[in-house]
Amino acid sequence: MRAFKEVETILASMSRAEKAELLQWVARDLGDAVPGIENDPSVSGGEACIVRTRIPVWVLVQARRLGTSEADLLRSYPTLRAEDLVNAWGYYRSHRDEIEQQIADNEAA
């Protein structure tokens, strides 16, 4: 939390042009990040997971592929919210190769 206070202080001293430049840098740095999805090496081996959970995106994609409805997914995983599924599908669209590889790796195991 201390870092946020420091950033707040720095931002207050910056001009609008400097803030705009910083915002562009942050957007480039985030690149293909999807809200609500995190890749944490200490969770599920670093696979993309829904935040607040240990549910990998590939598990949800594979379940949907096998005919599981979104309503059934939400019932099966009580910690999931509808927006989590939207984020998972968005992540899959922009990281298709990664998720397909994780599904293939799981099937081969």
Computed from CA positions of residues 58, 90, 7, 2, in that sequence, does the dihedral angle turn out positive or negative? negative
Same domain, 55 and 7: no
Domain count for the chain: 2
The residue that leads in pLDDT, 74 or 35, is: 74
The 10s digit of each residue's pLDDT in 49-77 is 999 899 999 999 999 999 999 999 999 99
Q: What is the pLDDT of residue 44?
A: 86
Give the integer Cα–Cα distance in Å for 87 and 57. Answer: 9
Same domain, 78 and 54: yes
Give the integer Cα–Cα distance in Å for 87 and 93. Answer: 10
Residue 29 has pLDDT above 70, yes or no: no
Phi-psi label, residue 36: left if phi above 0, alpha if psi -120 to 50, beta otherwise = left
Q: What is the pLDDT of residue 85?
A: 96
Same domain, 100 and 56: yes
Give the integer Cα–Cα distance in Å for 47 and 41. Answer: 8
| Average pLDDT for 65-90 | 95
Residue 40 has pLDDT above 80, yes or no: yes
Q: What residue numbers bound the domain in which 99 lies?
A: 37-108
